[in-house]
Amino acid sequence: MKTAINKLDEISRRQFVERVAKTALGVTLLPVGARMARAAEGPGFGTAKHVIYLFMEGGMSHIDTFDPKTGSTKGAKDGIKANAGSGNLDFLGGYLPELAKQANKLCIIRSMMSKTGVHESGRYIMRTAYEPRGTIVHPSLGAWGSHFLGRIEGASLPDSVTVGTGRHPGAGFFPPALSPIPITSAASGLQNVRPTTSDNQFEKRVSLMNEFDSAFRQKFQNDEVNAYTEFYDETMKLLKSEDLAAFDINQEPAATREMYGSSGFGQGCLLARRLVQHGVRFIEVQAGGWDMHNNVDDAMGDRGADMDKAFAALLKDLEETGLLKDTMVCLGSEFGRTPDINQNMGRDHYPLAYSTVLAGGGVKGGFVYGATDKDGRRVADKQTSPQDFVATIGHAMGLPTEEVVMSPSNRPFTVGDKGQPVLEVFA
């Protein structure tokens, strides 16, 4: 028996143990099983207890940021030498001087390629690993984390939060209780969290509402009704929590707020750090304005500077607070932009080659994975798909990326679709 089990591959051994436990004990080993399997899942598995996903909406130019070139396609600013330590990260775009100082923490994937150059589809794929379908909404990574790892024990704050105004798939086909809490503006924080009546009146209203709902809940005892009830209960728990202070960045010292910059994105990064400190598992911070069809130099001088300052501040802050080793910071965009400058001195949509970035959470620092050709037109080495990128983040979170989950419509899905974690990026 022992010999037979040892012949199984790593995934099969974990599935065998889980099935035995479920049959004999009536329980599943997840999330315990996921933690037990950590050593067998490869480098970096489960290292990232928290994830901050920085999403550059609009299509970030790879040539002007994380994959600078020296030929005719190079940006208006020459690349700047990166402080990669002993790593193989050579240059960053000239708009990123602060990140160049933090380059020893960066792991850049320069070989991304997508099948779509359409904004909405590209954003959806980079968040879910799936192409959008009219019949189903796929879960984002925060929801996958809650599904496999369970809700954070004893926490009153949500498992995941989105900061920004962009459209987001949320929990997808998972129950509403796994949806991220949306924050429109980091400066404003979590809105409408205090009752407009006295505590006594508020409790009476809640009690009366539950009394009205009780007959309906008893008559329709199904997963959908239970899911919304759970979502409501979690919301009420949050409203009463002292941890709501985590959403108030004004409690930070003025010097810290200044370090991140006054942009909405910078303040969102500061909020993300506060939420990580309070135990939130997954935070997405959105930054718009990257659709640079016109005057890319001026646009990069604006958006690029904001991203450079905030991203660098976040990495420095996480390291100084001891959170970086357990927190993976990811930066992505729906696609890249054309190597050639158009007639309006801008760059157009370009899914054939672009870059993403990882830092902390067990990845190698000062490291470059993959490459494009000399002009940044095509992937020249180690092509990486959005599915691979999502699977890599899921792997770092400790999610079983090959385990099949059936949707309510009885269709099979996995974290990252058919993507494979890029294990080479992990230390």
Same domain, 289 and 147: yes
Same domain, 61 and 180: yes
Same domain, 89 and 158: yes
Residue with tokens 């990574």: 141
**Distance between CA atoms of residues 232 and 311, nearest Å:** 34
Same domain, 360 and 280: yes
CA 169 to chain centre: 12
Residue 403: closest CA among 142, 30, 42, 45: 30
Boundaries of domain holding 31? 1-20+27-41
CB-based contact 120:392 (threshold 8 Å): no
Same domain, 110 and 256: yes
Per-residue pLDDT of the chain (427 residues), as tens digits, is 444 444 444 444 444 444 444 444 333 344 444 444 444 578 999 999 999 999 999 999 999 999 999 999 998 899 999 999 989 999 999 999 999 999 999 999 999 999 999 999 999 999 999 999 999 999 999 999 999 999 877 677 889 999 999 999 999 999 988 999 999 999 988 755 555 555 566 566 556 666 666 666 666 666 665 555 565 566 556 655 678 899 999 999 999 999 999 999 999 999 999 999 999 999 999 999 999 999 999 999 999 999 999 999 999 999 999 999 999 999 999 999 999 999 999 999 999 999 999 999 999 999 999 999 999 999 999 999 999 999 999 999 999 999 999 999 999 999 999 999 999 999 9
DSSP state of 243: G
User: The CATH number of the domain where 134 resides is what?
Assistant: 3.40.720.10
Could you say which of 243, 261, 280 is where a domain stops? 243
At 284, list the tokens.
């997405």
Its pTM stands at: 0.84
Amino acid at 56: M
Same domain, 145 and 16: no
- Cβ neighbours of residue 12 under 8 Å, at least 6 residues apart? none
Same domain, 6 and 124: no
Amino acid at 59: G
**Distance between CA atoms of residues 34 and 400, nearest Å:** 7
Same domain, 111 and 203: no
Same domain, 160 and 176: yes
Same domain, 278 and 264: yes
Same domain, 70 and 197: no
CA 246 to chain centre: 19
- From the number of C-beta atoms within 10 Å of its C-beta (0-12, 13-18, 19+), residue 9 rates as exposed
How many domains, in total, are found in the chain?
A: 3
At 388, list the tokens.
């691979």
**Angle between helical axes of 141-149 and 386-397 (0-180°, round to 10):** 40
Same domain, 205 and 321: no
